[in-house]
A = this chain, B = another copy of it.
Amino acid sequence: MRIVITGGCGFLGQRVALQLLAQRDVDGLVLFDNAPSTLPLPDDKRLKVVTGDIADREAVRRVISTGTDSVFHLAAVVSGQAEADTDLGYRVNLDGTRAVLDACRALGTCPRVVFASSLAVYGGALPPAVGDETPLTPQASYGTQKAIGELLVNDYSRKGFIDGRAVRLPTVVVRPGRPNRAASTFASSMIREPLAGREAVCPVSPDTVMALASPRRIVAGLLHAHDLPADAFGASRSLQLPGFSVAVGEMAAAVGRAGGEAAYARIYWEPDLQIQQIISGWPQGLQAPRAEALGFVADSGIDEVIQAFIEDDLEMQKQLV
């Protein structure tokens, strides 16, 4: 199997790559990204890194070349940046997605495409829990672009150009590495940094409820979405993945349980109205009966997620300067 991962040098892309190399029958795996990996990659002859611009249609066609069986399309400009830089957001998140889908269509072999969508497709006056039946009314450019991506994946799948799967990922916590420009980046920082011995700022109120999933579950979900047969998706190629809901104050308390009073005290509460507004516009709860029936699984709660972070990432995190 020949696979391409866009955004392949990002944190999720790399983990998907490692799982594919370890667990699937992979002949070739291309990580396409706008910058080389900052993390060491395994010395594996099947693995190749290509740097380029996702909105460069020619570059994308060269990467998604004849013989490509599957594409994980994870490349994106994150929410905060897409909101601040409208042109960049549309260029990467819309033009880039179209470049990927058109390159797949040009193969003429109906390749499998897993598209990472987001909770940001929901917005406005939301029910207590959102899911497959909730109308998509995004309140920011990032969610608009992800909703458009879902529409394209569905249209291209219906027409037989691709075998697409658009999975709405919960907010990923704990994301290792450095903060990024996602509005939700604090949700990882407020766990990651105090446990690694550093201070972190929480810009939203403790009673803010978020719908989360761990990197382990997200990566497993992306692979499971890839492996399912097409007819498992039925009438829609869009699928809400399950997650768990937790208040930000409870996330802080769990940092205290895992790292002690000292870790808890490294969280500083500094309200930022703009971030509060974006996060408050996201869904607080998820209903994912269709995904659960298809075998997707949610984390049991925040303590399990923090434990997984400690096992998988904390040592590396402590070494970051």
Which positions in A face B, CB cutoff 8 Å?
86, 124-125, 133-141, 144, 147-148, 151-152, 154-155, 158-159, 161, 235-236
Question: Taking CB as reference atom, which chain B residue is nearest A139?
Answer: B158
Say whether A159 contacts B124, CB under 8 Å.
Answer: no
- Within the complex, the shortest CB–CB distance from A100 to chain B, in Å, comes to 14
CA distance A154 to B148 in the complex (A): 12
Most central of A144, A151, A159 by chain B CB within 10 Å:
A151
CA distance A152 to B159 in the complex (A): 23
A144 contacts which of B86, B124, B135, B152 (Cβ < 8 Å)?
B152
Q: How many copies does the complex hold?
A: 2
A148 contacts which of B124, B138, B148 (Cβ < 8 Å)?
B148
A135-B135, A135-B136 known, 13 other contacts, Cβ within 8 Å? A86-B159, A86-B161, A133-B135, A134-B135, A136-B136, A138-B151, A138-B154, A140-B158, A141-B155, A144-B152, A144-B154, A147-B151, A148-B151
Give 9 A-B contacts (CB < 8 Å), ordered by A residue.
Answer: A135-B135, A135-B136, A137-B235, A138-B154, A138-B155, A139-B158, A141-B155, A144-B154, A144-B155
Are A159 and B141 also in contact (CB < 8 A) when A124-B235, A236-B124 are?
A: yes
CA distance A136 to B125 in the complex (A): 17
CA distance A130 to B27 in the complex (A): 48
Question: Taking CB as reference atom, which chain B residue is nearest A89?
Answer: B155
A235 contacts which of B125, B136, B152 (Cβ < 8 Å)?
B125
CA distance A28 to B158 in the complex (A): 43
Chain B residues, Cβ within 8 Å of A236: 124, 137
Chain B residues, Cβ within 8 Å of A137: 154, 235-236
CA distance A272 to B147 in the complex (A): 33
Chain B residues, Cβ within 8 Å of A125: 235
Chain B residues, Cβ within 8 Å of A133: 135
CA distance A154 to B161 in the complex (A): 28
CA distance A144 to B236 in the complex (A): 13
- Within the complex, the shortest CB–CB distance from A254 to chain B, in Å, comes to 34
Chain B residues, Cβ within 8 Å of A86: 159, 161
